[in-house]
Structure 1
């Protein structure tokens, strides 16, 4: 605002002219506000992990079980009884699967101490053998550390050197911490089970509430209903495709290593399929498990490379051909968006974030495609 003073007849006149605000200044201010809001939202999500994670997981589980509830509803079964029947079927299936896998898993767990001892023995050569790569690395590290200590400047007069002693491993403290973590996980799982049951029982009540509060205009209600239906379809397709991909990975990993004679091939294949749920990190972990188990059993490079190579081939084919082909109509997310979302949500909620990252982005993409102001976000996330 510009003030002009005119001294005429002893009267001071102030002429005001409007201040011109440049467009780039407005954009910078809006961008700064957006960054602050995004940072605050991330902080809130990180601190609210104990509340947000069970809620989102329950919603995802409800989406996964909704087709079964709909099937019972078509048969005339009320929603509460349909949800109870589904929970009973899940319990029976889990118990049956646990009993079927009990022998293999128990045998695999029983052989772990022996496998670990053999691995330590193979890593530590005998007195008459030449030092292995691991021993050479350890000796090099000791030499560098000793050289640094020898060339360290002398202590100043009156200053006493202090050596930091690392605390010894406390088994009792570790078991206590593990027990607390297990109890916390159990509480979260119970909360997820109860909340999922309530979502299945209530059915379309939440959807009707969202449509009601969308706004007084019929257009707002129609857009809200369209967004909800789109999210429903995309999440259901994603879950179906993800289960199918995990089954393909489990079979494609377990069969080749079983033909090679690897023990517990079925367990390793099942673990590889389950770990495939976690993008990027899961397949890498499965490859390491297969390779390590094969090496500990045969202790030969050829078979180890063959088993590890088979797991790598399965992971590469799954990541570059199977998943893009099946996910083209399920999630429609590009690889960069998936990778960044896994990093962000993994930082926010650890393992839970790795599991929830892709479903959350699928829902965001589905909503952004139907809201005019959010379509740039949908374009950014899409293929």
Structure 2
């Protein structure tokens, strides 16, 4: 009996504790009684994507880009001759290497190659000096004649409208003069005579001579620097490999980058030499068949301007068309000459240049055109000449540097 009583008292105590605990829980607020579920239902509202923007880094990048552009524009007179000399050295280096293989000293070979190149340029342009002078004299007259013809066509097309505008303007002017005379007294007329300075031949010759001297100085700078680069040979390559660091992997990457740049630039310069000669020869044949005067000078200009992609053939077509109109006084002949020039440029550029460029490095045409516009805006004609070699070098370097591989993908086809 005593055990049953002990069990009853234990059960009563346990029920009393649970009752008091239930009273305490009932007194708690509803917020405390809220129990979170282990697997809450996902929200149906889509969260907006957030991209972190480093404003500080973006501002620094913009400022650095502007500083680089300003530095490139400010140092144009130094950078452009250096780049032209490097391209000239890349072009002539295979000949110097070939002379070195037949046991001719590299310095002597560089002198021979440079003198031979200068001799070829002089001997090729000297017989055409009369035609070049004639072309230079004809260009202003051709432009004036062409502008007059365009003005006549414009006035012939819109002649009635121009007459109506002139009549309305005359009536309005007469009405204004009549109202001025009736309302205000006549004022004395003051005649103004513009005193134009007299033409000074000495100043003109001095300005032209200074421009010619500047061009000659730039050309001599390019030739001398290209000569020293040819003489040095692989010295700069060894120095760059040494500066890459003690790591063998970095040295291998540096050697691979330099070899790819060397091969790409040499092939590109060979392509330009072949295509420009082909354009010049085909243009000369076509103009001789048409009967255009100074066909040799125009062919030389077409070959030189073909270096600048897209814009060079357009300038050649426009100038040769004006010269043809001045000679034949016929729009059909002008269109024939311009069309022949454009057809030759498109033919060579589509088949020959595309095939050789595909073997060198597949480039995106849009990237080439943007590079042409950018460097032409920054450095003028020299920038147009250097635009494609610069973008080829950038693409080659980007292919071998991990952080710049997206840029190489953007520049490629």
Normalising by the smaller structure, the TM-score range is 0.7 to 0.9
- SS of the equivalent of 1:328 reads helix
Task: Measure how far apart 1:29 and its partner are.
Answer: 3.6
Contact 2:99 2:109 in 1 (8 A): yes
What is the match of residue 152 of structure 2?
A: 132
Q: Comparing 314-323 with 226-235, which one deviates more in the overlay?
A: 314-323
| CA distance 1:270–1:114, change in 2 (3 Å) | closer
* Structure 1 position 112, deviation (Å): 5.8
User: In 1, distance between residues paired with 2:271 and 2:337?
Assistant: 26
| 2:295 counterpart of 1:265 | yes
Matches within 5 A, 1:120-199: 132-133=152-153, 172=201, 173-199=203-229
CA–CA distance in 2 between the matches of 1:379 and 1:118? Answer: 46
Are 2:107 and 1:80 equivalent residues in the alignment? yes
1:323 to 341, 344, 353: 353
Normalised by the length of structure 2, the TM-score is 0.74
- Could you report, residue by residue, the CA deviation over 1:344-370 in whole angstroms, capped at 9, with x for unpaired residues? 111221111111111111111111111
Q: 1:372 to 1:114 in 2, by over 3 A?
A: closer
> How many residues get paired?
343
Shift of 1:63: 0.4
Match of 2:17 in 1: none
Question: How many angstroms apart in 2 are the aligned matches of 1:321 and 1:113?
Answer: 35
- Residue by residue over 1:210-256, the C-alpha shift from the partner in whole angstroms, topping out at 9 and shown as x without a partner, is 00011121111111111000000000010011111112212222222
Written as runs of structure 1 = structure 2, the 5 A alignment for 1:28-47 is 28-47=55-74
Q: What does residue 5 of structure 1 align with?
A: none
Q: State the shift of 1:179 in Å.
A: 2.6
Measured at CA, do residues 111 and 311 of structure 1 come closer, stay the same or move farther in structure 2, by a change above 3 Å?
Answer: closer
Aligned partners of 2:263 and 2:98: how far apart in 1? Answer: 16
Give the CA deviation at 1:321.
3.6
- RMSD between aligned alpha carbons? 3.4
Q: Paired residue for 1:286, among 310, 313, 316?
A: 316
Gaps of 5+ in 2: 1-49, 181-189
Output the CA distance in 1 between the equivalents of 2:330 and 2:132: 20
Q: Which one has the bigger helix percentage?
A: 2
Matched, 1:24 2:52: yes
**3-state SS, counterpart of residue 360 of structure 2:** coil
CA distance in structure 1 between the aligned counterparts of 2:381 and 2:233, rounded to whole angstroms: 29
Structure 1 partner of 2:16: none
Per-residue deviation, 1:318 = 3.4
Alpha-carbon distance in structure 1 between the residues aligned to 2:286 and 2:253: 50
Q: Using a 3 Å threshold, how does the CA distance of structure 1 residues 185 and 110 change in structure 2: closer, same or farther?
A: closer
Contact 1:54–1:191 (CA<8 Å) still a contact in 2? Answer: yes
> Could you tell me how far apart the structure 2 residues matched to 1:233 and 1:77 are?
23
Match of 2:77?
Answer: 50
Distance across 2 between alignment mates of 1:329 and 1:178: 44
**Cα 1:300/1:236, change in 2 over 3 Å:** same
Residue 360 (structure 1) aligns with: 390
Give the 3 Å change call, closer, same or farther, for CA 119–220 of structure 1 in structure 2.
closer
Aligned position for 1:237: 267
Q: Distance in 1 between the 2:407 and 2:336 partners?
A: 43
Residues 276 and 304 in structure 2, CA contact (< 8 A), matched pair in contact too: yes
Deviation per CA, 1:151-174, whole angstroms, max 9, x where unpaired? 9xx9xxxxxx9x997977956555
Alpha-carbon offset, residue 276 of structure 1: 0.3
Measured after TM superposition, the shift of residue 96 of structure 1 is 2.2
The CA deviation string for residues 323-360 of structure 1, in whole angstroms up to 9 with x for no partner, is 22221122422111111111111122111111111111
CA distance in 1, matches of 2:200, 2:405: 54
Q: Deviations over 1:172-221 (max 9, x none)?
A: 55544333222222211111111111111111111111000111211111
